[in-house]
Amino acid sequence: YESQWRMIQMIGPSDNEYIYINFREFEYDIKWEFPRENLEFGQVLGYGAFGKVMNATAYGINNAGDSVQVAVKMLKEKPDASEKDALMSELKMMTHIGSHENIVNLLGACTLSGKLKLISCYGGDGTGMSQFIKGLFLWCFSSVLAGILLEEDSAALKIRGLCFYSCYKYEEVRGKLILLIIFTDKIKNASTQVDEEEDFNVLTFEDLLYFSYQVAKGMEFLESKSCIHRDLAARNILVTHGKVVKICDFGLARDVMNDSNYIVRGNARLPVKWMAPESLFERTYTMKSDVWSYGILLWEIFSLGVNPYPGIQVDTNFYKLIQSGFKMDQPYYATKDVYCMMQSCWALDSRKRPSFSCLVSSLASQLAEA
């Protein structure tokens, strides 16, 4: 196991002249320690080959007497020494990165007398948003973007299901009002029933821009900390109260062996369709390779959750397409400006890709005009 997020130190003028910072030798700041007896565990949010993430209530983690919903990352039973070292290194790295509204922030850790646990925020504290949703919600972005269609010409506002992944073509959704269902049930038992008054909200083009802007802001922050993500995709973005999005790393809690987004390449399973050419062919990861992945994420957002490169199998021909400069078509819900931004992220020469600061500036301008 290793965290996808890595902090780097540049050792030359080129993007690929860097070394990974090894946090194994860093001291853990005990101020992050949280008493494990103050955690009350709920449901499992996700699990994988190396461990799991669980929902919990943390009593007194911010202020004495309060209780906060948190996500707790932990290793499997009887982890080996290298896995413990890797999770401890991740903890030390997260304490160095610091906090930002658009990343899943570390709140504390349990390192003493028991299994190592990392405690992170879990979708906000649920205050101030009662008019938007009943209670706390937390959703993987790609699940949120699977919504419903209201037939606009139906007096009864007939609702029918829509899968945005493969079964509908763009022509079939033109002229329809795209709605977003916010489920308040537990994630694994989420119902598809719609409460017409309270359980859904309109998802607008401005919302899509705002999602994109927030991810760019979070990545701009990570870029400022010399931190690369290496697996930026809709599945690693969480949507919380007020349509605030947070970047995370679900690697430990994802079953990549059974996730079709991760393709065997060499001796590893990799998110091939999101990876920049230099990462695919040279195993080089930089902030500019994260920019390429961000372009793929934009395509996911403005196609409303369609898997990238629809209908194209990952095989020898796919790799040739990427090397030749092939780019996906403009998604139906993207404007020309948004699509131009995607294309700039997919420049074969990484030096010609925009920085996240440039992307933030461009999206801020587009939001102001929306």
Catalytic residues, by residue number, are: 231
Of 145, 110, 147, 138, whose CA–CA distance to 43 is shortest? 138
Give the pairing type, strands 244-247 and 237-240: antiparallel
53 is in an annotated binding site: yes
Please indicate if the annotation marks 18 as binding a ligand.
yes
Instruction: Using alpha carbons, list the distances in angstroms from residue 252 to 54, 86, 231, 240.
Output: 12, 11, 12, 21
Does residue 123 have a known ligand-binding role?
Answer: no
The reply to whether 51 sits in an annotated binding site is yes
CB 238 within 8 A of CB 141: yes
Any idea of the CA torsion for 127, 133, 136, 141, to the nearest 10 degrees? -120
In whole angstroms, what is the distance from residue 73 CA to residue 71 CA? Answer: 7
| Residue 370 known to bind ligand | no
Token code pair at residue 368: 């102001």
**Residue 50 known to bind ligand:** yes
Is 235 assigned to a binding site? yes
Token code pair at residue 236:
């690693």
Please name the helix (run of DSSP H) or strand (run of DSSP E) that holds residue 112, with its range, or none: none
Q: Which of 101, 185, 205 is nearest to 136 (CA)?
A: 185
The answer on whether 47 is annotated among ligand-binding residues is: yes
Dihedral of CA atoms 110, 42, 62, 32 in degrees, nearest 10, equals 10
**175 labelled ligand-binding:** no
Residue 115, annotated ligand binder?
Answer: no
Name 8's bridge partners. 20
Instruction: Tell me which residue has tokens 């119902």.
Output: 191
| Dist. CA 352–CA 342, nearest whole Å | 13
CB-CB contact of 353 with 325 (8 Å): no
Q: Is 49 annotated as a binding residue?
A: yes
Task: Point out the annotated binding site for Mg(2+).
Answer: 18, 236, 249
What residues are designated binding site for ATP? 46-53, 73, 235
Binding residue ranges: 18, 46-53, 73, 235-236, 249
